[in-house]
A and B are shown apart, each in its own frame.
Chain A
Amino acid sequence: MTATLHRPRDLGTALDLLAGTADPMVYGGGTAVQILLKQGVLFASDLVDIAGVPGLDDLVATPGGLRAGTMVTLRRMETDPLVHDRAPLLAHVYGRVANPRVRNTASVGGNIAHGDYRLDPPTALLVLDARVELSSAAGARHVPIREFFTGFQETAVRRGEMVTAIDVPTQPLGGAAFTKLSSLAANDWPAASAAVLVTSSGSGGREIRIGLGALAPTPVHVAVPMPADASEDDAADAALAAAEPLIDPLPDVRGGVAHKRRLGRVAVADATRAAWADTPRELRDTPREEASDDRRLTLRRLRRRQ
């Protein structure tokens, strides 16, 4: 049985299709959906292709950050100067997903709606405290990304709803790093990943925020306070102590529980050390300034060097 393909030209029609068909599935970038269809493990009566809906691929600055429409490609998140200015960690992490062809096609909204526990972008979205916009024929609501992943392959998206945008606050000043460890091919799903952001806790201290991928049935997040004058070793130890209770790996072809737990510890320690070392001694509570055009170019070159 093949699913019926719909190609609506406006959001209202798309949402009506999600509400009014038997077992609909949003077709965004299509990379994951197309693979699952080929593998015969995705069952949908209707596919709602949202590529023709205007406005869903807008990527714009907002007063406190940026807003990425659901159809913005992962590659655009990786390369767009706006994302580099406002959330460089996020740009870096999107650039680590799969390969450039997948990133050229896969969409920001579809990526999280897929709900896979091994996804890279949620690790950064979690530490940045992003917010997901969900729309249905009844209207829109907003869900913090930290409440979006509700169970193994399950998300907060309800029947009749779709992700329409992700709002990301400007990355606070401080250090950030992402570590991804794969046990098969380098661009395979990771066996462990960790995004770490070190920022001011507001009272002169530091906060270490940790987002984990592939290490539990959902992407997970934890934050731990640290004195500003703590050593890198202390920071890594505190991050490990905080992350450890969350690490609950699923054994598969990429490794058993003990192997993945070990890789998870390495990812957390490495990312924390890098983020801590990257944090200036004097960290004020002022937000990141918008970069000049010159600086944007430099950031772009920096990214290329990885």
Chain B
Amino acid sequence: MTDIDLQVNGERRAVRVGDDDLLLDVLRELGHTSVREGCGVGACGACTVLADGYSVSSCLARAVRYDGVAITTADGLPENDDVVEEFVAARAMQCGYCIPGFVLMGHELLAENPDATAAEIDAHLEGNICRCGTYLEIRTALQNVAARRRHDTVKEPA
């Protein structure tokens, strides 16, 4: 067992983990149940978290490696998160199981490429699976986030 400090959504959480404990399980036990298990082999995206801003499949990640790393889970996003708001506005979810992963992948993409085209959105989300099939609405939501951020930037120049 190893004592580690997880920095989850800006909050320090001291936890004792086994060498082969997965980040997925540790986060869920801490109450972050927006992190979900789907395929268990890194191919579906339901367990996505951001680690220092980079998307990671927490089902393949050993928690012991994330000592001191800033973790973002979808439940830690602010109430008025623009990606979440545009997902709601575009009705981009049905059952919602996969949506936290899509939201975080969207955040990662738009942080590194604010002008992402439809094709670039599709390419970045290629490893996320939505069983309800709301892919078109998800793409629209992210296009709307990009447009909204561009608009806000023009209105309030830094």
A140 lies within 8 A of chain B by Cβ: no
Is there an interface contact between A186 and B126, defined as CB atoms closer than 8 Å?
yes
**When the two chains form the complex, which single residue of B48, B54, B60, B119 contacts A35, counting CB atoms closer than 8 Å?**
B60
B55 lies within 8 A of chain A by Cβ: yes
Is there an interface contact between B42 and A35, defined as CB atoms closer than 8 Å?
yes
With a 10 A CB-CB cut-off, give which of A2, A104, A187 has the most chain B CB atoms.
A104
Q: Measured between C-beta atoms, what is the minimum distance from A162 to chain B in Å?
A: 18
Contact with B along A95-120 (1 / 0, CB 8 A): 00011111011000000000000000
**When the two chains form the complex, which single residue of B19, B40, B43, B64 contacts A99, counting CB atoms closer than 8 Å?**
B43
Q: Measured between C-beta atoms, what is the minimum distance from B127 to chain A in Å?
A: 2
With an 8 Å Cβ cutoff, the count of chain A residues facing the other chain is 25
Residues of chain B from 10 to 43 with CB closer than 8 A to chain A in the complex:
19-20, 40-43
A304 lies within 8 A of chain B by Cβ: yes
User: In the complex the two chains form, what is the Cα distance from A305 to B54 in whole Å?
Assistant: 21
Q: Which residues of A contact B127 (CB under 8 A)?
A: 98-102, 187
| Nearest A residue (CB) for B127 | A99
B65 lies within 8 A of chain A by Cβ: yes
Is there an interface contact between B54 and A30, defined as CB atoms closer than 8 Å?
no
Is there an interface contact between A100 and B124, defined as CB atoms closer than 8 Å?
yes
Residues of chain A from 239 to 293 with CB closer than 8 A to chain B in the complex:
none
B154 lies within 8 A of chain A by Cβ: no
Is there an interface contact between A5 and B64, defined as CB atoms closer than 8 Å?
yes
Is there an interface contact between B120 and A101, defined as CB atoms closer than 8 Å?
no
A306 lies within 8 A of chain B by Cβ: yes
Is there an interface contact between A105 and B60, defined as CB atoms closer than 8 Å?
yes
With a 10 A CB-CB cut-off, give which of A5, A37, A105, A187 has the most chain B CB atoms.
A105
Q: Which residues of A contact B62 (CB under 8 A)?
A: 5, 30, 34, 49
Is there an interface contact between B60 and A5, defined as CB atoms closer than 8 Å?
no
Is there an interface contact between A51 and B55, defined as CB atoms closer than 8 Å?
no
Using a CB–CB cutoff of 8 Å, the interface residues on chain B facing chain A are: 19-20, 40-43, 45, 48, 54-57, 60-62, 64-65, 105, 108, 113, 116-117, 119-120, 123-124, 126-128
A31-B42, A304-B113 known; 10 new pairs, CB 8 Å cut-off, are A5-B20, A5-B62, A30-B61, A30-B65, A34-B62, A49-B62, A101-B127, A105-B57, A187-B127, A305-B120
18 contacts between A and B (CB under 8 A): A2-B19, A2-B20, A5-B19, A5-B62, A31-B57, A49-B65, A99-B45, A99-B128, A100-B105, A100-B108, A100-B127, A101-B57, A102-B127, A186-B126, A187-B43, A187-B126, A187-B127, A304-B120
